Amino acid sequence: MAGIYHIAVIPGDGTGPEVVAEGIKALEAVSRRCGVGFRFKEFHLGGDQYLSKGILLPEEVIGELREMDAIFLGAIGHPDVKPGILEREILLKLRFELDLYINLRPVVLFPGVQTPLKDKGPEDIDFVVVRENTEGLYAGGGGSFKKGTLDEVAIQESITTRKGVERCIRYAFELCRKRNKKRHLTLCGKNNVLIYESDLWFRVFQELHKEYPEVSSGYQNVDALCMWMIKNPEQFDVVVTNNMFGDIITDIGAIIQGGLGIAAGGNINPEGTAMFEPMGGSAPKYTGLNKINPMAAIAAAQMMLDHLGEKEAAELLLKAIKAVLKNDLKGLEAGRMGYGTREVGDLVAGYIAAG
């Protein structure tokens, strides 16, 4: 047997548990074929725990998660909890506490998947966004003054550190070299307005570029990059950017690769643990209906295998995902796949068994 991995599973809220179950089904199918072993340990975090017991993310859970090889997350978000509480106190806290400083979001259009972009196909949409994941506006600094009055002042601070920028850009250059595709790294900023923050990113980018002469580089302001992602996505190979811009542009990325039914991401500490998740939310209206598309969660599991260094297993699962997308699914939206959630998982497992 190759490695045995300890995987923390956080099914979370809404449809999270349903999609996570199919991700695990795929991993177990891979395990039977490649001899990679998994020990799953479930952690019940999310809106239900918060509403019934007041529990968000206890210290001892963070300690346990730190020791795991990887974390597989479904979704966090509950209609009865005010926006911001679960997100900040669970999802973002995990990113900060475990220092998961890279948010890796591939934007890949697989054959058989519809993109809303006219005249674009799989050969045009194949890039990766490296989003800084622990700083910027997400650091959450700021405050309200004279709240609730007509004189109210709101301050939302953005924190950018040299260390945070450097480790993120270095990761992106390394990835660009390793991907070995166009070997082109685009820095996305807003240096005509954010004259301190984007300037720091720009200088560090230029400095590190000297260490990667085989990689060509470009700079784009985030507003222009949003247009280019739609008009000429084929120009991109790896894009590196700050936390907020990365959040926004990866939703464009998700839709051009077929939507939240397929978009997955990894929150990675290259020196520690990593957490993989479907990009979509908890989709409460579909909870328990066997209608939600589990492909994004299965793609997250695939990224996890790749991150763990299990290349053969990752390849096998990728092949199965591509086969289901190309041969079986009618669409990627919930309730429009031509199959139920569990049946999509069965299809993936079937290709793995046969492949």
Binding site for ligand IPM (CB under 6 A): 87, 91-92, 247
Taking alpha carbons only, the member of 41, 49, 4 closest to residue 24 is 41
- CA dist 207 and 200 (Å) reads 11
Question: Which residue is nearest to ligand IPM, using beta carbons?
Answer: 87
For the bound state, the minimum distance from the C-beta of residue 140 to ligand IPM, rounded and expressed in Å, comes to: 11
The partner in contact with residue 197, picked from Mn ion, ligand IPM, none with C-beta cut-offs of 5 to 8 angstroms by kind, is: none
Q: How far is the CB of 251 from Mn ion (least distance, A)?
A: 6
194 binds, among Mn ion, ligand IPM, none (CB under 5 to 8 A by kind): none
DSSP state of 130: E
If binding is defined by CB under 5 A, does position 132 make contact with Mn ion? no
Shortest distance, position 126 Cβ to ligand IPM, whole Å: 21
CB of 321 to ligand IPM, least distance (A): 21
Please say which residue, 87 or 97, places its beta carbon nearer to ligand IPM. Answer: 87
What is the amino acid identity at position 130? V
Q: Where are the alpha helices (DSSP H) in 265-310?
A: 295-307
Give residue number: closest CB to Mn ion.
Answer: 247
**Are 338 and 328 within 8 A, CB to CB?**
yes
- Work out the burial of residue 150: count CB atoms within 10 Å of its CB; fewer than 13 is exposed, 13-18 middle, 19 or more buried: exposed
Q: Which is nearer to ligand IPM, 5 or 77 (CB)?
A: 77
Closest approach, Cβ 121 to ligand IPM, in A, equals: 26
- In whole angstroms, the minimum distance from the beta carbon of 328 to ligand IPM comes to 28
- Give which of ligand IPM, Mn ion, none residue 352 binds (C-beta under 5 to 8 Å, depending on kind): none
Is residue 126 near Mn ion by the rule CB under 5 A?
no
Cβ burial of 174 (10 Å; 0-12, 13-18, 19+) is middle
Give the shortest CB-279-to-ligand IPM separation in angstroms: 6
Please report, as residue ranges, which positions from 236 to 255 form the binding site for Mn ion (by CB under 5 A): 247
Q: For ligand IPM, which is the closer residue by CB, 132 or 310?
A: 132
CB 183 within 8 A of CB 234: no
Residue 92 or 176 having the CB closest to ligand IPM: 92
Residues 6+ apart with CB under 8 A from 237: 127, 128, 176, 179, 181, 182, 183, 184, 185, 186
Number of helices (H), then strands (E), belonging to the chain: the values are 12, 12
Query: And the tokens for 177?
Result: 């070299």
Question: Of ligand IPM, Mn ion, none, which one sits near residue 91, judging by CB under 5 to 8 A according to partner kind?
Answer: ligand IPM
Q: Using the 8-state DSSP alphabet, how is residue 212 labeled?
A: -
Token digits for 162? 């040299």
Q: What angle do CA 268, 238, 272 make, to 5 degrees?
A: 15
Q: Smaller CB distance to Mn ion: residue 299 or 348?
A: 299
Binding site for Mn ion (CB under 5 A): 247
